[in-house]
Each structure stands twice: as structure tokens, then as C-alpha cells.
Amino acid sequence: MKTRPVQRSRLVPHTVNGKTEMVLDRYTVEVPVPPRDWDRTVLTAVTAVAGLLVAIAVVWSTASIGDLLSRVTIAPAAYAAAVAFDLAWILCMAVEWLARYDPARAALPRNMGHGALAVAMVAVGTHGWLAGQEAIGIIGAVVSGIVKALWTVVLRHHAKPLDDKTQQWVDKQRAEAGGELAMVSINRELTRARGLVSAEALALGTSPDTNPEPSGQVTDDPDSNPEHPDAEVHPIRPGTMTTRDAVRNAVDSGIRDEDAVLRYVRQVADPDAKLSTVERYLRGLRRSA
């Protein structure tokens, strides 16, 4: 069995002039070397060669299609457009690789890649036909087909399809994570919209959450209900004071009921104030009293 030296260290006591300190003691041990994973080595080599062949195919088809398109446009634009023919099916292969654990999601990029490859092969063959070299055009088109077929084999080997139940579990987890990700953007949009509403309300001197009450009914508005516990408190424009200041103002005005304080805070400071926040401030004021 093969071994390799590995340097390690440990703390050991060392005494000088009667004083002991813990110092590092470095030593070397021989550890066994695992056998070479030839399967992984071969797969890595095959993947590298496939990548090299892709580069060769791109150069060949770009030269052919670029020369074909340069008949009707300037060369830089023609060769730039020619690159797109091969990049299309190469990008589809990349997406197929990302979806290698989900056959259903990998089907679309695989089919799109086959279509893009067919278009590129037709373009290469057309170039040879127009140049009077039909055989060379066919052989050149087959180069891209061989490379794509080789990559399909490599991707099939890398792909690890899941069983039906595990795939359903993965789909549910992906959907849940996608919903959470979507809510980040949605919450940001809602927060921005509420901020614009509040800013507009402050600019106009009105409250964004005031709703008219049906006539003839007792409402929670202190101005329309003289018996309301907040009737003695004169509200100011929302957003001009903090929640803490609003709680203190309510307590100083003689309001002791937590629900009444919460209503007042929502009216003059924060329409979205929570009861737990108001209760925390009330406890702080009671302790300091």
C-alpha cells in the first residue's frame, strides 16, 4: 500500500528555567494513499476532449458561416453573426447540464439545442454548396453533429435522474424556495408603494388610512364619538412622531387601555404599529414611573 508523508503538529509542555509553556511540536506521519479513481480520471479526460472538440467545431462553423454571410454584408458583422449559430446549441447544452437532475426540465433545452444545431449544419452545408464543394460542405456540417452527439453522451453519463417520489419532493422544495424568492421582490414593491402613499398623504396633510364610516353608527374616531377613550387626545399628521413618542403622549393624556393606546399610535404615528411594540413601550413607561 502506498503512503505519503503528512506534517502534523500538537501542543506539548516545554520547561525552561523551571517555567513550563505549551509549545507546538511538529512531526511527520505516513498516511495511506487511496487508489486512483480511474473512472473519474477517464470521465474527466472525456469531458476535456469534448470541450476541445466544441472549440474546434465553433472555429470551423464560424469560418464557414462567416464566409457565407460576408457575401451580403461586411466581414465583421458576418463573422459575429456566425458565432451565434454555434453558441445557441452550446448554451442549450449548458442549461441541459444545469437541469441534469430533472429530466422534465432538461427536455426543453435539449430539443432547442437539436434545432439550433440543425440550423448551423444547414448553414455550413449551404456554404460548401455555393462554393461548389458539396462534399466538403457535408463533411463540415457533420463535424458539428458529431461534437453535439458526443456531448449528448457525456451529459447522459453525468445526469443523475431521481426516482419519482424524490423528484416530487425536490419540485415542492424548489417551488417553496421560489415563492420565498418571489416574495422578496413583491414585499419590496409593496413597501415602496406604501411609502409613496404615505409621502403623498403627508404632502396633502391627510391620513392614508382614513375610511369614512356609515352614518348613524358609532365609530372609533375620537372626533365623532365623544365617549371614545381617545377623545381628549388631539392627533397630528401621521408620520410626524415615532411610535415611542405616540405611546408616551397617549399615557400622558390619561389613556391606559392597551387597545386604545394602539389605536392612537396607529392614528398619529404608524398605521402598521403592532400591539407587542406598544406593550413593550408601555412596560418601559410603567417601570420608569
201-223, pLDDT tens digit by residue?
777 765 544 444 444 444 445 44
Q: Are residues 243 and 283 in the same domain?
A: yes
Query: What confidence tens digit (pLDDT) does each residue in 119-145 have?
Result: 988 988 888 898 888 888 888 888 888
Question: Does one domain contain both 50 and 148?
Answer: yes
Is residue 241 domain-shared with residue 138, that is, in the same domain? Answer: no
Q: Are 123 and 48 part of one and the same domain?
A: yes
Whether the CB-CB separation of 237 and 202 falls below 8 Å is answered with: yes
For residues 153 and 47, membership in a common domain is answered with yes
Within this chain, do residues 46 and 127 fall inside the same structural domain, yes or no? Answer: yes
Burial of 50 (0-12, 13-18, 19+ CB in 10 A): middle
Whether residue 178 is contained in a domain is answered as no
Average pLDDT in the 148-153 region? 86
User: What was the pLDDT predicted at 260?
Assistant: 83
Please indicate, yes or no, whether residues 224 and 117 belong to a single structural domain of this protein.
no
Q: Are residues 149 and 59 in the same domain?
A: yes
pLDDT in the model for residue 206: 56
Are 110 and 13 members of one domain? no
Q: Which segments of the chain are extended strands (E)?
A: 3-16, 19-32
pLDDT in tens, 246-285: 888 888 777 878 888 888 888 888 888 888 888 888 888 7
The answer to whether residue 179 is domain-embedded is: no
Structural domains of the chain, count? 3
Q: Is 173 a domain residue?
A: no
Tell me whether residue 66 is in a domain. yes
For the stretch 76-122, pLDDT in tens is 898 988 888 888 988 998 898 888 888 888 889 989 988 988 998 89
pLDDT of residue 236 exceeding 50, the answer is no
**What mean pLDDT, rounded, does the chain reach?**
81
DSSP code string of 184-237: HHHHHHHHHHHHHHHHHHHHHT--TT--PPPTTS--S-TTT-TTSTTTT-----
Query: Do 132 and 232 sit in the same domain of this protein?
Result: no
In a domain, 146, yes or no: yes
Percent of the chain's residues with pLDDT above 90: 7
On whether residue 107 sits in a domain, the answer given is yes
DSSP-derived secondary structure letter, 7: E
pTM recorded for the entire structure:
0.51
The answer to whether position 45 is within a domain reads yes
pLDDT digits (tens, 9 = 90+) for 58-80: 888 888 888 888 888 888 898 98
Residues 27 and 42 in one domain: no
Q: Which of 158, 175, 191 is the last residue of a domain?
A: 158
Cβ atoms of residues 161 and 82 within 8 Å: no
153 and 45 belong to one structural domain: yes
Q: Residue 196: inside a domain, yes or no?
A: no
Range of the domain at 152: 38-158
